[in-house]
A and B are shown apart, each in its own frame.
Chain A
Amino acid sequence: MSLWHRVAWHCKNNPKIELWIMWWAMFCFYQLFGIVFALMTRVMPPPKPWWDHARIVQWFNDNHYGLLWGFGIIFLVAGITASMNALIAYSMTRMSVSRVFSYIYLAIYSLSTLPGMLLTAILLTVGALRPDRDPAIISWIYDAAFTGFVGTMGVFFIGTSVWMLAVLLDKNRVFPLWFGYLNICNLLTEIVVAPMWIFKEGPFAWNGVIAFWVDTLVFVVYTIAFITLLRRMIVREDFGDGPLPELEQRA
């Protein structure tokens, strides 16, 4: 059977097709996010917080096209984050816990795209498109973009806490307990990052080894874990109410 026939068959007959579309949308979004933020716009790892006006203006000039094309893509596809939020909220509705958890999570993470991604994209795009402005203003935009990107973690802290609680309280074993604990590691990074508002250099600055590198490493491990576990959840899904069957049981 050709690939197109297989896709057509799954679209017609696979009861999990909607969940798989959401999962693939999330998977593709994270690949794109990595390419845009690390390779195209050079926002990750972040440039130096202590640069003077001239060096900041030069950074905008050096990355002019990367910023415009990269964030152009992000403005186009930022809405895909909704598929990820929806899938995570779905995972909570499959748990034995109250649906209130998934509603809170959806509400919080609908807000999070703004400080976590869009605000930085808007500010840096403005900086790239207005090179004729006063370098002091360009520097302010630069500071606002990176402090916003690395430092506004409160919404993520609460959102992660909600998911953690749901996983630890769940009796349907939708996710393993260790993932509930891994949420604690992730939510602590949202606090560890706070000193970056004070420091312009060193381990606690926005590009520092503790505030950025260790936190980002934990976030990457956490993201890989939840993408893998959501895939596993879809494979295990039986559309029932009780405990989610393990893969071995399904086999």
Chain B
Amino acid sequence: MSNGTALNAARRVPGQIDIWYFVLIEAIIFSSYFITYMLYRVWESPLFLQSQVHLSQNFGALNTVILLVSSWLVAQAVQAAREQKFDAAQKLVMMTMACGVLFIISKIFEWSSKIHQGFEFSTNRFFSFYYFLTGIHVLHVLIGFIFLGVVIYQLRSPQRRSITVIESGAIFWHMVDFLWVIIFALLYVMR
């Protein structure tokens, strides 16, 4: 009996099953955006290549590093919560949020610099996709703050501290990070 319980615990999927359904639906929706982008990239290849030159790969890489670090921090926070180190977990989640804020500031900076250079939402198809994909992703970062806020709320009181809810918040944040890696590859790297 105890072996069976141990086995079940080992096999347990982290977080709520509902958050996985959510991640799956989000992955399908974003896949449809990515496929659309790829199709237009094939159809209007010269325009996309010319426009991509105006994006800074270093800036995109910096964004990616910020979010990868934030993902690592939230994973550490979940581990700390599992080990009952709730204060440490709280600090790690706050550091994760700080990375998110840094990411958004860097995105606003990048957008404003592009607008000053004359590349706006309706300049051409590539920049429409650029603002759309990065914009919808930033919206997910903002929603991620709400998820992380719930995680902090859970960690604060001994009456709450549901590991499943904490893991669910972390799963959403990992998804936000994962989506950015694909957006980075499509918009900045693939030439």
A residues near B (Cβ < 8 Å) are 176-178, 180-182, 184-185, 188, 191-192, 195, 198-199, 202-204, 209-210, 214, 218, 221
Residue of B nearest to A209 (CB): B36
Given contacts A198-B122, A199-B122, contact A177 B139 (CB under 8 A): no
* The 5 nearest A-B residue pairs measured at CB: A181-B22, A177-B18, A178-B18, A178-B21, A214-B32
Q: Which B residues, 1 to 52, have Cβ-Cβ distances below 8 Å to chain A?
A: 16-19, 21-22, 25-26, 29, 32-33, 36, 40
A contact residues around B21 at 8 Å (CB): 178, 181-182
How many contacts between A and B, using CB within 8 angstroms? 56
Does the CB pair A188–B18 fall under 8 Å? no
Q: Does B115 contact A (CB under 8 A)?
A: no
B residues near A (Cβ < 8 Å) are 16-19, 21-22, 25-26, 29, 32-33, 36, 40, 121-122, 125, 128, 132, 136, 139, 143
- CB A73 to nearest CB in B, in angstroms, measures 32
Given contacts A195-B121, A203-B36, contact A181 B128 (CB under 8 A): no
Contact among A188, A202, A209 with B128 in the assembled complex (CB-CB below 8 Å): A202
B contact residues around A195 at 8 Å (CB): 121, 128, 132
Given contacts A184-B143, A214-B32, contact A198 B121 (CB under 8 A): yes
Residue of A nearest to B33 (CB): A210
- CB B147 to nearest CB in A, in angstroms, measures 10
Contact among B17, B26, B40 with A185 in the assembled complex (CB-CB below 8 Å): B26
Known: A176-B18, A177-B19. 9 other contacts (CB 8 A): A178-B22, A182-B25, A198-B122, A199-B128, A202-B40, A203-B40, A210-B36, A214-B32, A214-B36
- CB B64 to nearest CB in A, in angstroms, measures 23
Given contacts A191-B139, A203-B36, contact A182 B22 (CB under 8 A): yes
- CB B171 to nearest CB in A, in angstroms, measures 11
Q: How far is the CA of A203 from the CA of B133 in the complex (A)?
A: 13
Given contacts A178-B22, A195-B128, A204-B128, contact A218 B36 (CB under 8 A): no
Q: How far is the CA of A181 from the CA of B24 in the complex (A)?
A: 11
Residue of B nearest to A215 (CB): B29
Residue of A nearest to B21 (CB): A178
- CB B164 to nearest CB in A, in angstroms, measures 11
18 contacts between A and B (CB under 8 A): A176-B18, A177-B16, A177-B18, A177-B19, A178-B21, A181-B21, A184-B22, A185-B26, A185-B29, A192-B132, A195-B121, A195-B128, A199-B122, A210-B32, A210-B36, A210-B132, A214-B33, A221-B25
- CB A209 to nearest CB in B, in angstroms, measures 5
B contact residues around A198 at 8 Å (CB): 121-122
Residue of B nearest to A168 (CB): B150
A contact residues around B19 at 8 Å (CB): 177, 181
- CB B81 to nearest CB in A, in angstroms, measures 20
Q: How far is the CA of A176 from the CA of B19 in the complex (A)?
A: 11
Does the CB pair A204–B139 fall under 8 Å? no
Q: How far is the CA of A180 from the CA of B36 in the complex (A)?
A: 27
A contact residues around B16 at 8 Å (CB): 177
Does the CB pair B25–A185 fall under 8 Å? yes
A contact residues around B36 at 8 Å (CB): 203, 209-210, 214
